[in-house]
A and B are shown apart, each in its own frame.
Chain A
Amino acid sequence: MIPGRFDYHRPASIAEAVALLASLGDEARPLAGGHSLIPLMKTRLATPEHLVDLGAIASLKGIQVDGDDIVIAAMTTQAELIGSALLAERIPLLKETALVIADPQIRYKGTLGGNVANGDPGNDMPAVMQCLDAAYEVVDEAGPRRIPARAFYFGAYDTALQAGGIVTAVRIKVPPHGHGYAYEKLKRKIGDYATAAAAVVLTVADGRCATASIGLTNVSETPLWAEEAARILVGSTLDTATLDRAVAAAESITNPASDMRGPAEYRTKMAGVMLRRAIERAKSRATA
């Protein structure tokens, strides 16, 4: 469990980090919390020649309100998401999600930016960000850009992030006051990745669903934004028949692998179960 030889860089600014990554080329990898990359290096599944540690860049830390948005800098840890009073009040879905990621030790090191940027379909935050319609602030050689979470993931570990680029922050439009939310995750045991998981944000007005958004975790090569399933919910009383149709629509877009978490058919059905539970819990939390 010893990685191969690599050089270690610790830039003090985003500009310096991006310049370093550009000059070092393909053999350099940015290092955030390290909980995906370091194990790969220890098992020699990844052998980068250079690590560019983003841990000394002050501007990559912190949670800010920016108009209607909350902007979470990329090096914010899962534990900091859990501890944030601002997020607990305005986007409680994030705390609920972070609490079911891995275990406390990992949550103290693992970062939001790393979780969303590395493209592992097992990560929980990407589907949540698609559900929330978040955007990722990205800096690469061409300068800063903003990429919607729903357009970021192409395949397993294949994203819109160019080589040499880094995600600097996640920008989330704060859902309306009184929104209902839930993240339901099925895992074999504590610390495991999801067998299937579902994120739901919805609003209710006059007893009917006014808006809805759904994200699904680890039931395809990428996180899934279940647009059709959410559309079915809107305008309904979130009755059983509607939920049945929404669940069916969500199940139809999944494409999970058969693995030790179960056969593909099982994981698809579990995505449906998680979604049904998430909708019901979100509904119970929605006010207005």
Chain B
Amino acid sequence: MSDITMPNVAAIERSRHGSSIGQPVTRREGHLKVTGQAGYAADYNPPGLLHAVMAVSGISRGRVTHLDVAAAEAHPGVVKVMTPANAPKLAKSPDDKDHGFMFRMNVLQNDSVRFANQPIAVVIAETLEAATEGVALLRPRYAEEPARIGLDGSAAFALQAVGAGAPAKGGIGDIEAGLAEAATRFEATYETPAQYHNPLEPHATVAEWDGDKLVLHTPSQGLTMAQGRIAGLFGIDPANILIKSPFLGGGFGAKGLFSGPQVLGIMAARFVGRPVKLVLRREQMFGPVGHRGETRQTLRLGADSTGGLTALEHNTLTTTSFYDDFFEPAGTTSRHLYASPAIATSHEGVRADIGTPIFMRAPGEAPGSAALECAIDELAVKAGMDPLDFRLRNYAEIEPITGKPFSSKALRQCYAQGAARFGWASRPRAPRQMRDDDGLLVGWGVGTATFPAMIFPSEARAVLRVDGSARVEIGAQDMGQGAWTSLAQIAADGLGVDYDKLDLEIGSSALPTGGIAGGSAGTATAGSAIHHAAADVIKKLAALATSDERSPLFGAGNSGVVPRDGRLVRQDDESRGESYASILARAGLAEIDGKGSAGPNPSMQESYAMHSHGAVFAEVKVDPDFGQIRVTRLVGAFAAGRIINPRMVRSQYYGGMIWGVGFALHEHAAADPRSGRLMNANLAEYHVPVNADVPLIEAILVEEHDPHVNVLGLKGVGEIGITGTVGAIANAVWHATGVRARAFPITLDTLLERPGDI
């Protein structure tokens, strides 16, 4: 992709007149959603449909020794019970890994149990009720072995790679020397718990086989990857698999890689020779579809007498399963956020009898920035500096370890605009200085937000029709973030057509590959391919017009014309132009199409560090008698390059910041140390913020131009809101109470040195 031409910023500015990009248009599919017409996977009911329900393990380690299949199959309506004894054998072992981006799954190929809530059988019945009852009648028996749970449940071991393949270790300079010369030193350990994605829509499949052809309705954040994974497991041609995923009720990473339960739905349909629907129950979302592993992060920092960092060490211990490798890359945040002559980051793993962790919204950055932002705050206080001044003192002008310049970085403006809006200047330095009218302790905290700007390979097709309408096709995915809308805005501008005359088709594997809606890269990925496909159409159209004597554009040259409101016009004289309809009609064409692709640009990646940035300011109120914490105000200021749709972007920031509230104060999957089973695998007890927990939130969209990051100049907005927010809240809790909480979620009792009197 080194032949990508980077945008002419002046041309972009000119094209903004009357453009769709930048407009806060509402969701294109909003009406469908609020009237119940948006069909999610589980809404699809083909003729002859059977219902499948998974039986899941009640132990976390051992074997299933008995299932009362006869009792289940005797229940009226039950068609068949699929167990390891009779389940279809897959063409490829689900434990085979072709590459690091392929994860092992548990799909009834043997009787072993590797974690609680692992599928151990699937009951298929004429009704959901009968299948559910069939599961209850299986009454499994087990040979149970002792569960190994938590960060201390087994021996830690060294790692080579974390996350999506980042090196486990990374740094620069001499940490010990940096600490030795420091005027102020600080060391602390922070812990973050296991967290589960819990999108509103649980994983669902409706699978229909026709010979070796498969039609699958299922939510997916990565249709092409899913297609490839299914093809491998079932030994069929990817071209024979059609996946429909037009709407997702959230994904957050849980639907990024195809999961075991989704495979079981496909197996069940093959097993009974009829279409089968399988929908996970909420409690089944806690195990077989991934989670964020636990972390224990130890940071050692030093600062000189002016507050300049001399050393930043960030060591992470994190949990994975006993059968596969995924390691939360918590330390990577420290590699690019603050300037320090010495930086050292490392990760170790520990295995537990749990389902394998996976990418979860802001993998690495969410827990990593939580710990880093707390430690930076603690060091600032120890050094006698305002926490915001301290961050500015250590502002990274270049990416610290690589020495690369940033493709753009308006973090200083984020700090300034956020602080001004929040009123940070009037914050007293010492803790426990502010009370509200009800006597509640009030505290203010700040955290820096950061997330890398990525892009994945993708392709798009665009068509202009003689009637002035247009169509763009790409197998991109809308998880709820607004892809239906923002991609249409990009397409409309690229083709120079009215947004309302633009048909967009996404969410099907039959379309050109749309890459991945993940890594906060969905809009960059699909949008860039759409941009190039549109440019290809315009180039062909321009070639038709400028080479035709009868056109007013004759002789203008391909680069001398631009698309504008259904017309090509001369760049040097916009009054001279010709409509698409006229160009196509004269050429005898009903339509003209083009293709485009996008992907990472190695030369740009070598030259620039690319990240979104932000600053989050939090106010909390703490009851002085019992430590109850409420977040009462959040102000986030974020810079993420070009903003396609400020309404959607603001919504992403809000959502991310609310996730930050949940991370700081609520989310905690608690395992019973005796059995390894989760004690709160439901939304009644696995707490996430509800409306009543959500404070006044403001998101400021800080202007930022990025001529390098990708052809559209945009960076990701989906995950950054969590980062910074967690630290800001924890730091505000300290400012309110004088107590540093170093384990998340922060619970009331940790604030009470003497219960009843903090």
Contact = CB atoms under 8 A, between A and B. Distances in A.
A277 interface: yes
A270 B690 contact: no
B133 A266 contact: no
A273 interface: yes
A2 B132 contact: yes
Contacts of A269: 626, 752, 755-756
Interface string B108-133: 00000000000000000000110011
B685 interface: yes
A266 B751 CA distance: 11
B756 A272 contact: yes
B56 to A, nearest CB: 13
A4 interface: yes
A263 B752 CA distance: 12
Most buried by A among B133, B625, B679: B625
A186 B755 contact: no
Contact of A191 (B282, B628, B690): B690
A191 B692 CA distance: 10
B750 to A, nearest CB: 10
A245 interface: no
A26 interface: no
B132 A273 contact: no
B680 A273 contact: no
A277 B687 CA distance: 27
Given A189-B693, A266-B749, A269-B755, A260 B685 contact: yes
A189 B749 contact: no
B626 A2 contact: no
B687 A189 contact: yes
A5 B133 contact: yes
B136 interface: yes
Contacts of A188: 687, 748
A1 interface: yes
Contacts of B685: 260
A40 to B, nearest CB: 12
Interface in A137-191: 186, 188-191
Interface in B278-305: 281-283
Nearest to B666: A189
Interface string B675-711: 0000110001101011011000000000000000000
Nearest to B748: A262
Contact of B625 (A195, A260, A273): A273
B202 to A, nearest CB: 11
Given A44-B136, A262-B747, A262-B749, A270 B626 contact: yes
A189 B128 contact: no
A44 B137 CA distance: 11
Nearest to B688: A189
Contacts of A43: 283
Nearest to B756: A269
Contacts, number: 56
Taking chain A's interface residues, is the majority helix, strand, or loop, or is none over half, making it mixed? loop
B743 interface: no
Interface residues of A, number: 25
Contact-size category for B:
20 to 34
Interface string A248-273: 00000000000010110110011011
B592 interface: no
B670 interface: yes
Contact of A266 (B281, B283, B692, B748): B748
Interface string A179-211: 000000010111110010000000000000000
A128 to B, nearest CB: 20
Nearest to A5: B133
B660 to A, nearest CB: 16
Most buried by A among B132, B684, B692, B755: B755
Contact of A260 (B129, B132, B670): B670
A178 to B, nearest CB: 26
Nearest to A1: B281
Given A189-B690, A260-B680, A270-B756, A2 B128 contact: yes
Nearest to A268: B755
Contacts of A190: 690, 692-693
Contacts of A270: 626, 755-756
Contacts of B684: 39
B666 A266 contact: no
Contacts of A186: 626, 628
Contacts of B133: 2, 4-5
Contacts of A192: 687
Nearest to B679: A260
A269 B133 CA distance: 45
A248 B718 CA distance: 51
Contacts of A195: 748
Contacts of B628: 186
A260 B669 CA distance: 11
Nearest to A187: B628
Nearest to A188: B687
Nearest to A272: B756
A273 B693 contact: no
A277 B679 CA distance: 32
Interface in B603-636: 625-626, 628
Nearest to A2: B132
Contact of B756 (A2, A4, A263, A273): A273
30 contacts: A2-B128, A2-B133, A4-B133, A4-B136, A189-B687, A189-B689, A189-B690, A189-B692, A190-B690, A190-B693, A195-B748, A260-B668, A260-B670, A260-B679, A260-B685, A262-B747, A262-B748, A262-B749, A263-B749, A265-B755, A266-B748, A266-B752, A269-B755, A270-B626, A270-B756, A272-B756, A273-B625, A273-B756, A276-B625, A277-B625
Given A186-B626, A260-B668, A269-B756, 19 more contacts: A2-B128, A4-B133, A43-B283, A186-B628, A188-B748, A189-B666, A195-B748, A260-B670, A260-B679, A263-B749, A265-B755, A266-B755, A269-B626, A269-B752, A270-B755, A272-B756, A273-B625, A273-B756, A276-B625
Interface of B: 128-129, 132-133, 136, 281-283, 625-626, 628, 666, 668, 670, 679-680, 684-685, 687, 689-690, 692-693, 747-749, 752, 755-756
Interface of A: 1-2, 4-5, 39, 43-44, 186, 188-192, 195, 260, 262-263, 265-266, 269-270, 272-273, 276-277
